[in-house]
Amino acid sequence: MSIIKADTHPLDRYLRTERLPHVWCPGCGIGTVLGAYLRAMEKIGMDPEKSIMVSGIGCTGRAAGYVRMDSFHTTHGRAIPFAVGLKAARPDLNVTVFSGDGDLFAIGGNHIIHAARRNANITVVAINNFTYGMTGGQLAPTTPETGITTTSPYGNVESPFNLAGLIAVAGASYVARWTSLHVRRLEKSLEKALKKRGFSFVEVLSQCPTAYGRRNRMRDPVDTLKYFQKYAVVKNHVNPLEGVIEPNKPFVVGEFLDAPEEPTFEDKLWELTKAEFLHTSQAERSEWIIEHRRHLEVLSRIISGKGGEE
């Protein structure tokens, strides 16, 4: 039996097929992660007409241009605040920010921790390829120590951010990390993230053969995936402090946090617009606002090794 020629792909209804092939290099993992995202959407029956994708700038930032839904390709680092404004104005729509590590955590770092702190009801998919791919492979806040990039030609002397750990402690409701190799588990996590009311965050470690791999003995995309295969350790309720990624050492993937649902930022903003709420006493309003902030409880259980279940 040979391969059967096809003209359409099962995910085509979610894609702007007229724009394919996409801009990403051969073997880049962004398309893989986008596929996982669209499968998760399909699985949970999320209506693309009611779904918005917001991207920033960079390779991953181009994702918004390929999905057949209302999509916004904004400025560098500002996808999150754009999405926060949009979601607050239109809580009826599903809002996802799909962007890269540099966009979300360097230039946009302040925004993402504040969106997590507010528990804004958006999903953030952060593709972490350890570098700035679009501009040719410069040092990112995620580049592993000793990593060679065009702006760290002697090896990176900085410590990288532990993205999932950072967002877990910042106040998110759901946090997971996978790699572009863990496609099925990634899909499952994305389903949960999309369904979660509150700030959900999925970090996906991914290969950049062209700009990062090439300079770090992973020229072939397969090399990076083999690296993930070798070093990724699947774990759940990961202590955020254990999320650090060091070169040539095991690193954790899995669910960091799945906190119980509680009123989201938008729920609270809209509650304020109800006349009956405005006319209750300050004491009653305070009670409502602080009623459910259980994120920290769950987090401290995880950190103290008591597990993340209720």
Partner 1 sequence: MSKDILVGDHFLSGDVAAAEGAIAAGCRFFAGYPITPSSEVAERMARRLPEVGGIFIQMEDELASMAAILGASWGGRKAMTATSGPGFSLMMENYGLGIMTETPVVIVNVQRAGPSTGLPTLLGQGDVMQARWGTHGSYQAIALSPESPQECFDMTIKAFNLAERFRQPVILLMDESVGHLFERVTIPPKEEIEIVNRKILKDKNRKIYEPDEDLVPPMPPIGEGFGIHVTGLTHDERGYPSINAETQERMIGRINDKIRKYADEIVDYEEFMVDDAEVIVVAYGITARSARRAVIMARENGIKAGLFRLKVIWPFPSKRLEELSDREFVVAEVNNGQALVEVERAIKKRAVFVGKMGGEPHKPQEILKGIEEAVK
Partner 2 sequence: MATESNTEKLLERSGLSLPRGEVYLIEDRCKGCGLCIAFCPKHVLVVSDKFNKKGYHPPELVEEEPVNVCINCGFCERICPEFAIFVKEKKEE
Residue 248 contacts partner 1 per CB under 8 A? no
116 binds partner 1 (CB under 8 A): no
The residues, any chain, with a CB within 8 Å of residue 154's CB and separated by 6 or more, are: 148
Indicate if the alpha-carbon torsion angle 95, 98, 104, 105 is positive or negative.
Answer: positive
Q: Is the CB of residue 212 less than 8 Å from the CB of residue 129?
A: yes
Q: Which of 18, 26, 273, 281 binds partner 2 (CB under 8 A)?
A: 26
Q: Are 39 and 191 in contact (CB under 8 A)?
A: no
Out of 70, 145, 242, 262, the only residue in the binding site for partner 1 (CB under 8 A) is: 70
Is residue 133 at the binding interface for partner 2, with CB under 8 A as the rule? Answer: no
On the 0-12 / 13-18 / 19+ scale of CB atoms within 10 A, 140 is buried
Q: Is 183 one of the binding residues for partner 2 (CB under 8 A)?
A: yes
Contact indicator for 131, 214 with CB cutoff of 8 Å = no
Q: Indicate the DSSP class of residue 26.
A: T
Q: Does 165 bind partner 2 (CB under 8 A)?
A: no
Contact pick of 22, 73, 294, 301 for partner 1 (by CB under 8 A): 73
Rounded least distance, CB 110 to partner 1, Å: 5
Q: Tell which positions 165-194 bind partner 1, by CB under 8 A.
A: none
Beta bridge partners of 257: 175
Among the listed ranges 47-55, 171-179, 215-223, 299-307, the one in contact with partner 1 (CB under 8 A) is: 47-55
Whichever of 114 and 214 has its CB closer to partner 1, that residue is: 114
Q: Which of 19, 43, 217, 226 binds partner 1 (CB under 8 A)?
A: 19
Q: Please, what is the minimum distance in Å from the beta carbon of residue 158 to partner 2?
A: 29
The option from partner 2, partner 1, none interacting with 294 (CB < 5 to 8 A, set by class) reads none
CB nearer to partner 1: pick between 8 and 304: 8
Q: Which is nearer to partner 1, 199 or 228 (CB)?
A: 199
Catalogue the E-assigned strands of 129-235: 131-132, 138-139, 174-179, 200-205, 232-234
Residue 111, both tokens: 């925004």
97 burial via Cβ count (<10 Å: 0-12, 13-18, 19+) = buried
Residue 57: HSE in the Cβ half-sphere, 13 Å Cα cutoff: 10
Peptide bond into 21 cis (omega under 30): yes
Closest CB to partner 1 among residues 68, 235 = 68
Q: Which residues bind partner 2 (CB under 8 A)?
A: 1-12, 15, 20-22, 24-32, 34-36, 39, 180-181, 183-184, 187, 220-222, 225
